[in-house]
Amino acid sequence: MLNEKSVAAEFGEENSITEYISGDTVQVKAEAQDNGAKVELVCGTQKAEGIQSAEGEFSIHRENPQIKVKVTARDGKTTDEKVINLKKAVYLSDLTYEPGATVGYGEIQKDKSSSGKALRLADDLGEPVTFKKGIGTHAESVIEYNITGKEYEKLEGYAGVDYAQYNAEYGSVQFQIFVDGEKKFDSGVMLQKTSMKKVDLKIKGASRITLKALAGENNWNDHADWADMKLLSEFQEQAINEFTQTIQRPEHGTITSSVEGTKLTQGSTVTYTFAPEEGYRLKSAAINEALINPENGIYTIESVERDITVTAEFEKIPVPKYTVIFDSNGGSKVENQIVQEHERVTRPADPVRNGYTFGGWYQDSSMTVSWNFEANQISADTTIYAKWKKDVIPSPVKVNKITLNKKSVNLAVKDSVKISAIVLPANAQNKAVEWTSSNSKVAVVDSTGKVSAKGAGEAIITATAKDGSMVKDQCRVKVGYRITYKLNKGTNAPANPSIYISDQLIKLKKPSRKGYYFSGWYKDRKFKKKITRISGGTKGNQTVYAKWSRVKTEKVNNLELAGKKKGKLKVRFQKVSKASGYQIVYAANKKFKKSKKIDVTRTSKTISKLKKGIYYVKVRAYKKDSKNAKVYGKYSIVKSIRIK
């Protein structure tokens, strides 16, 4: 929600709104609905921020006539952004019209109708639209405004007979607008039920505007409304400053700017790249003597607001030395070696171990990749492992692979699932596994692999071989929340999940119900809060309610038959609002025995190849419900015709 001194606005489902202000500055105060949220107001390079609320006065320029409102939740994860688009306008009702204005009855009213009530005009559906600003008068009426030297660009608003006269017997007005004596708008004669007409005129350089409300057929009930009439003008141009960039030329490296030359424009973005010579690295970098930390040698200033001096220092990269440790794995000790980067380690004498045969040196503790003393180079501290083969006692067959039947599971609290483990090789001496959970507050697992969900979050279920091989496999368990669907006699969509994870976005699918339209999902049984999705970050069990509206198919009226051409019957009837189609039934007898049916989508149909005789015809409309099934209305009256 946004509250401010010059623009009163509240955001609903929209991400942007348009408001009108009379000057080039606006005082804005924004308040977040969530406690502890960060609020930011941004207008070009101007910015105000705060916790829970932010307030500031902003200069509005024609280059960027909008204010962005950003709210970040206290957890830093959830954000909401809205935009207020601003237009500079002055309402005619806030100006003084020229002396000599005329009105056919009563007085000229500001911000109310001729009868002293709210300004209301009919829309295209005949419904009233209320306006807070405007001029109410009565035909015949002439109102003139002097706008000399005001630099207005446009005149916008609506004209029409006030809605208070909608059901009156009389009421007719012709609206005209003259700009410097030249007629620029003519509504034609508008009656009491005529929908309002939009006024949108370019008036740049104009000096005088004249509003005329002329009587139509007579001057009874001629309540004329000039609603929401306003004069629009441009905001002030933004002054742009220039700043100087100075780049030091360091030794053993370069600094380059994304902007050529020495001039920078205020508010612009500039990126500096720090590139060392081969064998050197960036030691330090500074902007205006303040140290910076370029990422991968790149540093960006998003908005330039002052002169910039860039400096840097590069240093030679020293050749590193690394320690090579020989892990003899229970054999005799082998001394460590110190080796320069990209050099090879010297092969030591083979270690010895009682009861074992030395099997060579390996790169990894699992003894899968042997160490090549002629080819392998050192690039980090390294451990080389001795491999042994037991001489006499054969080693028991160890587990070398565990595969779980599930790699990831989503559960709701109190749900459970059974996970099974396949242990290989088949002849392993001990195939038992130990089940563990990384977070017992989220999920626990018993000795059989049954996982039970305890609370929202994420846990890793691990099955580890008990034979000491440390072979294991894992399943990621995410525990979320349950979704309860109150279908109100409907049938749920198969794609709608019964549970959801907090970091997932769930788009709710449409259910179906015979004979009904689906009117949306709601968060309450009174259908006040509509919902289409469960957003990422939502927590807690959710209940959604399906709202339905019965499919009502009206009766077909005005059935007409024509049979002037031989063997042909033309059927016409009145259109039923929002009908999906129609069913024409015809027969050669009144009881419609052996009748024929034709489905059509239009309101007329010619039936050919008919035999001579009298034919009886009736028609009914149908609409399709949420199951895509036809819902028929009542048949029209039966009509007959003789076919030649």
pLDDT computed for residue 8 by the predictor: 40
Please give the single-letter amino acid code of residue 515: G
Better-predicted residue by pLDDT, 57 or 290: 290
Asked whether the predicted pLDDT for residue 351 surpasses 70, the reply is yes
Q: What is the 3-state secondary structure (H, E, C) of 174-208?
A: EEEEEECCEEEEEEEEEECCCCCEEEEEECCCCCE
Quote the Cα angle for 605-609-615, to 5°.
Answer: 70
How far apart CA 155 and CA 644 sit, in angstroms, is: 65
CB 332 within 8 A of CB 351: yes
Share of the chain above pLDDT 90, in %: 71
Residues 6+ apart with CB under 8 A from 158: 121, 131, 196, 197, 198, 199, 225, 226, 227, 228, 229
Q: What is the CATH number of the domain that holds 520?
A: 2.60.40.1080
Token pair listed for 324:
């090579």
604 and 573 in a common domain: yes
User: Domain boundary residue among 550, 570, 598?
Assistant: 550
Better-predicted residue by pLDDT, 238 or 131: 131
Residue 590 lies in a domain: yes
C-alpha distances (whole Å) from 425 to each of 399, 466, 470, 505, 622 are 6, 14, 14, 42, 66
CB 223 within 8 A of CB 165: yes
User: Domain boundary residue among 277, 298, 316?
Assistant: 316
524 and 410 in a common domain: yes
427 and 283 in a common domain: no
Residue 555 lies in a domain: no
pLDDT computed for residue 6 by the predictor: 41
Backbone angles phi, psi at 164, to 5 degrees: -65, -20
Asked whether the predicted pLDDT for residue 12 surpasses 60, the reply is no
Span 128-135, average pLDDT = 96
The neighbouring-strand residues paired with 166 are none
How confident is the model over 366-397, as pLDDT tens digits? Answer: 999 999 999 999 999 999 999 999 987 667 89
40: exposed, middle or buried (Cβ count in 10 Å: 0-12, 13-18, 19+): middle
Q: What is the CATH number of the domain that holds 299?
A: 2.60.40
623 and 504 in a common domain: no
How far apart CA 453 and CA 204 sit, in angstroms, is: 70
Number of domains present in the structure of the chain: 6
pLDDT computed for residue 237 by the predictor: 66
Backbone angles phi, psi at 163, to 5 degrees: -65, -20
458 and 355 in a common domain: no
How confident is the model over 405-432, as pLDDT tens digits? Answer: 999 998 988 899 999 999 999 999 999 9
How confident is the model over 276-329, as pLDDT tens digits? Answer: 999 999 999 999 999 999 999 999 998 888 999 999 999 998 888 999 999 999
State the residue range of the domain holding 302.
242-316
471 Ramachandran zone, left/alpha/beta (phi>0; psi -120 to 50): beta
Share of the chain above pLDDT 70, in %: 96
Residue 510 lies in a domain: yes
Asked whether the predicted pLDDT for residue 332 surpasses 50, the reply is yes
How far apart CA 498 and CA 477 sit, in angstroms, is: 16
438 and 359 in a common domain: no
Backbone angles phi, psi at 127, to 5 degrees: -95, 150
Better-predicted residue by pLDDT, 238 or 10: 238
Asked whether the predicted pLDDT for residue 138 surpasses 60, the reply is yes
Token pair listed for 59:
């200069």
How far apart CA 72 and CA 83 sit, in angstroms, is: 15
User: Using 50, 70 and 90 to split pLDDT, how confident is the model at 16?
Assistant: confident
How far apart CA 371 and CA 391 sit, in angstroms, is: 23
pLDDT computed for residue 539 by the predictor: 87
pLDDT computed for residue 580 by the predictor: 95
Q: Please, what's the b/e burial string for 593-607 (b: 16 or more CB within 10 A of its CB; e: otherwise)?
A: eeeeeeeeeebebeb
pLDDT computed for residue 240 by the predictor: 67
How far apart CA 227 and CA 158 sit, in angstroms, is: 5
CB 27 within 8 A of CB 4: yes
515 and 425 in a common domain: yes
Q: What is the CATH number of the domain that holds 382?
A: 2.60.40.4270
* pTM value surpassing 0.85: no
Residues constituting the chain:
644
255 and 151 in a common domain: no
Tokens 């590069």 correspond to 314
Residue 632 lies in a domain: yes
104 and 86 in a common domain: no
Residues 6+ apart with CB under 8 A from 642: 563, 613, 614, 615
Tokens 């952004």 correspond to 81
218 and 121 in a common domain: yes
Among candidate residues 210, 229, 253, 249, the one with its CA nearest the CA of residue 102? 210
Residue 259 lies in a domain: yes
Residue 564 lies in a domain: yes
Asked whether the predicted pLDDT for residue 10 surpasses 60, the reply is no
pLDDT computed for residue 239 by the predictor: 64
E strands, 393-455, in order = 401-404, 408-412, 416-418, 421-424, 433-437, 443-445, 450-453
Span 562-590, average pLDDT = 93
User: Domain boundary residue among 176, 201, 233?
Assistant: 233
Q: What is the CATH number of the domain that holds 196?
A: 2.60.120.1060
pLDDT computed for residue 511 by the predictor: 97
Among candidate residues 311, 324, 176, 165, the one with its CA nearest the CA of residue 250? 311
Q: What is the CATH number of the domain that holds 614?
A: 2.60.40.10
182-191 and 172-179 strand pairing? antiparallel
Span 350-367, average pLDDT = 93
First to last CA, the chain: 73
Asked whether the predicted pLDDT for residue 7 surpasses 50, the reply is no
The mean pLDDT of the chain is 90
How far apart CA 415 and CA 452 sit, in angstroms, is: 6
521 and 492 in a common domain: yes
105 and 211 in a common domain: yes
